[in-house]
Structure 1
Amino acid sequence: MPFFLETGRLALRPLGEADVDPLLDLDNDPEVMRFINGGRPTTRETVLAESLPRFVHRCPCIGHPGFWAAQDRSTHEFLGWFELKPLDDHSAAEAELGYRLNRSAWGRGYATEGAIALVRKGFTEFGVERVTANTMTANASSRRVMEKAGLSYVRTFFEEWPEPIEGSELGDVEYALTRADWERSAGARGDAHRRGDIP
């Protein structure tokens, strides 16, 4: 299967039915899911009926799905997934950045490496004008990744949670980066190139 994107250490490729088991393992780690659903278990039926169709859906405006499996280029280990999905199927102007990685990949810079590369691809190839990302206010690790990828805090907002989880009372935060601001940050992009984070 051809890779969608490669960085110094990561290879991103389309997700498919062969990924159901690793996706199920990912979504059944309570620490991985702590800020998503409070760590509640996910069933195979949910992955097949809800997650996989969303992951493989091709967005007409970019000609690709908005989600990709991430694997280690050296070991081919499945690390999780990344998202850069247009908010509107028919316009790439605004796209949402996201990521969910196995605990074994935490603290090693993979999330930042993949996020930087996807932001660059969005602005240079997909015609994205604004990248946005959301997480719980309490999710400090995810917020750091957004900041390292160049996104800045926009607002805190509150939504109704069907089943509130620890930290949900603090609300959620939105981060964003515009193409104009990204183009002005040539120094940051140069640092990423030197590190080998982006090709």
Structure 2
Amino acid sequence: MPGVHLVLETERLILRRLTPDDLDNLVELDNDPDVMRFLNGGKPVAREEIRDVTLPRLLAYYERPGGFGFWGAEEKATGEFIGWFHFRPQRDAPPGEIELGYRLRRPAWGKGFGTEGSRALIERGFTEQGVERVTAFTMSVNTGSRRVMEKSGLRFVRTFFQDWPESIDGSEEGEVEYALTKAEWEAGRNSSSTR
């Protein structure tokens, strides 16, 4: 599927490939303590780590087949970088199962961008990429992210506990998994179109 991963447009967003020119965007994103609160406890991430480890890891997805990976998100009206989404297979996931994730700048919170981008990726996955099940994970206490998952059509599956090298505030409450199957997604679309 060459080209499937180039650009995806929604009503208010352009989802595009990340490039090395996004380094400053990623440094700003990963150094906002509120953005990173549920990821690393809000600690800053060194520019060198983002340049030498994070960005090459994100860009490497474009070499893989299937059009999965990371999308930089820009607001159409302003062209402003607001964060990124990922839609990719997890290590050891069964075929057809894809993980959804997102990391958005604080000024973009509460505006429905997370839901809008997530729904677009889910629809593409189910209609064009052979996806059978979408999963998403976050800390149990991350109510904002959980709301995005629910508004995107995913349903709560379970709470689970992992051993992390360093615990962060709220980790004692565990992690949550949400998921949506293609059959559930299709049933939801059919029921809303018959109303």
TM-score, with structure 1 as normaliser: 0.89
> 2:163 corresponds to which residue?
160
Alignment of 1:162-181 (within 5 A): 162-181=165-184
Structure 2 gap ranges (5+) = none
Look up the equivalent residue of 1:31 and give its one-letter code.
D
Q: Within 1, Cα distance between the matches of 2:79 and 2:94?
A: 33
**2:116 is the alignment partner of 1:113:** yes
> How many correspondences in the alignment?
188
2:46 aligned with 1:43: yes
Percentage identity across aligned positions?
55
Q: For 2:85 and 2:95, how far apart are their aligned partners in 1?
A: 17
Q: Residue 124 in 1 paired to residue 127 in 2? A: yes
SS class of match (1:154): strand
Contact 1:59–1:65 under 8 Å retained in 2: no
* SS of residue paired to 1:173: strand
Describe the superposition over 1:113-137 as per-residue Cα deviations: whole angstroms up to 9, x where unpaired.
0001110001011100000000000
Matches within 5 A, 1:184-199: 184-186=187-189
1:60 maps onto 2:68 in alignment = no
Deviation of 1:92 after TM superposition, in Å, equals 5.4
SS at match of 2:103: strand
Structure 1 equivalent of residue 102 of structure 2: 99
Please point out which of 148, 155, 175 is paired with 1:145. Answer: 148
State the Cα deviation string for residues 129-149 of structure 1 (Å, max 9, x = none): 000000000000100000000
Q: CA deviation at 1:189?
A: 6.7
Determine which of 10, 13, 17 is the counterpart of 1:10.
Answer: 13
Residue 82 of structure 1 aligns to which amino acid in structure 2? F
Shift of 1:90: 10
Scaled by the length of structure 2, what TM-score is found? 0.91
**Residue 97 of structure 2 aligns to which amino acid in structure 1?**
E
The answer as to 2:77 corresponding to 1:74 is yes
State the secondary structure of the residue aligned to 2:117. helix
Task: Report the alpha carbon displacement of residue 60 of structure 1 after superposing the two structures with TM.
Answer: 3.2
Q: Does 1:22 align with 2:33?
A: no
How many Å separate the matches in 2 of 1:91 and 1:79?
31
The structural deviation recorded for 1:89 is: 9.3
RMSD: 1.9
In 1, the alpha carbon distance for the partners of 2:185 and 2:29 equals 31
Tell me if the contact between 1:55 and 1:68 (Cα under 8 Å) persists in the aligned partners.
no
| Contact residue 10 and residue 70 of structure 1 kept, 8 A | yes
C-alpha contact (below 8 Å) 1:154/1:174 kept by paired residues: yes
Give the match for residue 35 of structure 2. 32
Instruction: Please tell me the residue identity of whatever aligns with 2:48.
Output: E
When residues 154 and 19 of structure 1 are mapped into structure 2, their CA distance, relative to the original with a 3 A threshold, is same
